[in-house]
């Protein structure tokens, strides 16, 4: 699949209209203008097989992806040609055309996937494999986006919850599951040039429930001005906090914890041993936000000084979230009520509630060339 005219035009548009900054964990670029592009919020619904595409300009559902049962998450081709869906039920990555929203291919994986991520620079997709294979291996599967073929399975220490890419695309991160013992990694780094594990790290420095080493859940990255990685933010199983690590040294800087709520204000239903489960660094690098399933709120800290900004109440079981490229709005999946909310971060207020599907969870932002936006007649 060569570089298309659409790709070249889109690249030119982004250079002209946007001061592009380092993308966040979910690949949200900093855009000062949306001229020539279509911004879409992709909401996967973990308990269904219909997934929602939201236009943040109108806060309306403008398209539906039909298929991909028990979806873990959705992500986007670097040139905006396809949406990719991690299909937990059929153990595949499902590919949808971004214009017609029709499924065009399925790629069989080694086992059941969790979160998938795209490395834009190397045109690869990395699928975290949640179950061990029949012969006991824990893997990250690698898909070549030029051929849509599985080209490698990378051996890792434990099965994988989530995969991520650093802001400069230089490292792929696998967040591991399982009972973490001292000396074992819960995060492993992969070099995307060779697709080999190059280092691992623990999450430690805090003791709770008798444990000193913790299983990682969602992560996010803060970039330097040149796009290189400055900090790693990580949430951990059973903790309502965010660990902050210096990227170069991999040493713990601090732990961010929101003000405690009285138990009667908390929601223990459906938190799946992950009290805090959603992280987003804004594209303009002004703040990091964390969602709390336990507290049904999102919490913010300014960057780079990590000063507490405050809380925004969301509704039951605030889950994953994603921002708009102008850093003005945050979209949060409310798994306990089957809708997605749009939050005005300046006003710290909900401005829209959008009905989605069964148990909305993982959510991401797509920036497409305007001519790749969905054909609503074809997609409905």
**Tens digit of pLDDT for each residue in 301-356?**
999 999 999 999 998 889 999 999 999 999 999 988 899 999 999 999 999 999 99
Buried b (16+ CB within 10 A) or exposed e, 260-282: ebeeeebbeeebeebbbbbbbbb
Phi, psi (5° rounding) for residue 282? Answer: -65, 145
3-class DSSP state of 204: strand
52 neighbors 361 (Cβ within 8 angstroms): no
Buried b (16+ CB within 10 A) or exposed e, 69-80: bbbbbbbbbbbb
**In angstroms, what CA-CA distances link 159 with 74, 143, 186, 200?**
20, 18, 10, 14
Per the structure, the count of domains in the chain is 1
pLDDT (tens, 9 = 90+) of the chain, 380 residues, equals: 333 333 333 333 333 333 333 333 346 888 988 999 999 999 999 988 999 999 999 999 999 999 999 999 999 999 999 999 999 999 999 999 999 999 999 999 999 999 999 999 999 999 999 999 999 999 999 999 999 999 999 999 999 999 999 999 999 999 999 888 899 999 999 999 999 999 999 999 888 777 889 999 999 999 999 999 999 999 999 899 999 999 999 999 999 999 999 888 888 766 667 788 999 999 999 999 999 999 999 999 999 999 999 999 998 889 999 999 999 999 999 988 899 999 999 999 999 999 998 889 999 999 999 999 997 544 44
Residue 179: which domain range? 5-379
Average pLDDT score, the chain: 90
Helix (H) or strand (E) holding 14: helix 5-17
Residue matched to tokens 């708009």: 324
| 121 vs 188: CA distance, rounded Å | 20
The number of helices, as runs of H, and strands, as runs of E, in the chain is 2, 30
Give me 248's structure tokens.
Answer: 């170069």
List the alpha helices (DSSP H) in the chain: 5-17, 376-379
CATH number (domain holding residue 251): 2.130.10.10
pLDDT, tens digit (0-9, with 9 covering 90-100), for 154-163: 999 999 999 9
* pTM of the entire predicted model: 0.91
216 neighbors 236 (Cβ within 8 angstroms): yes
């Amino acid at each position: 699949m060569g570089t298309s005219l659409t790709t070249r035009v889109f690249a030119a548009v982004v250079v002209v209209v946007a001061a592009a900054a380092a993308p966040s964990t979910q690949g949200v670029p900093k855009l000062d203008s949306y001229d020539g592009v279509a911004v879409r919020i992709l909401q996967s619904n973990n308990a269904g097989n219909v997934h929602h595409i939201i236009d943040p300009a109108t806060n309306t559902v403008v398209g539906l992806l039909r298929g991909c049962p028990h979806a873990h998450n959705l992500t986007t081709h670097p040139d905006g040609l396809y949406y990719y869906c991690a299909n937990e039920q059929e153990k595949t990555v499902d590919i949808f055309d971004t214009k017609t929203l029709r499924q065009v291919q399925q790629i069989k994986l080694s086992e059941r996937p969790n979160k998938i991520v795209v490395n834009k620079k190397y045109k690869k997709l990395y699928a975290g494999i949640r179950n061990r294979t029949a012969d006991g291996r824990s893997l990250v599967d690698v898909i070549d986006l030029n051929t849509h073929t599985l080209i490698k399975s990378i051996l890792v220490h434990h099965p994988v919850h989530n995969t991520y890419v650093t802001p400069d695309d230089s490292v792929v991160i696998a967040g591991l599951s399982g009972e973490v013992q001292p000396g074992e990694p819960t995060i492993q780094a992969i070099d995307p040039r060779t697709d080999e594990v190059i280092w691992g790290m623990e999450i430690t420095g805090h003791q709770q429930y008798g444990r000193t080493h913790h299983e990682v859940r969602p992560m996010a990255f803060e970039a330097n001005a040149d796009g290189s990685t400055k900090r790693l933010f990580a949430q951990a199983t059973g903790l309502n906090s965010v660990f902050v690590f210096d990227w170069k040294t991999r040493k713990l800087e601090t732990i961010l914890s929101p003000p405690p709520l009285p138990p009667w204000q908390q929601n223990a239903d459906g938190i799946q041993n992950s009290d805090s489960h959603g992280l987003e660094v804004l594209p303009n690098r002004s703040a990091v936000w964390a969602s709390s399933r336990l507290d049904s709120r999102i919490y913010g800290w300014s960057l780079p000084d990590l000063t507490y900004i405050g809380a925004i109440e969301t509704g039951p079981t605030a889950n994953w979230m994603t921002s708009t490229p102008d850093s003005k709005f945050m979209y949060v999946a409310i798994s306990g009520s089957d809708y997605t909310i749009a939050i005005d971060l300046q006003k710290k207020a909900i401005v829209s509630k959008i009905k989605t599907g069964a148990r909305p969870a993982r959510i991401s932002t797509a920036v497409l060339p305007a001519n790749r936006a969905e054909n609503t007649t074809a997609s409905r």
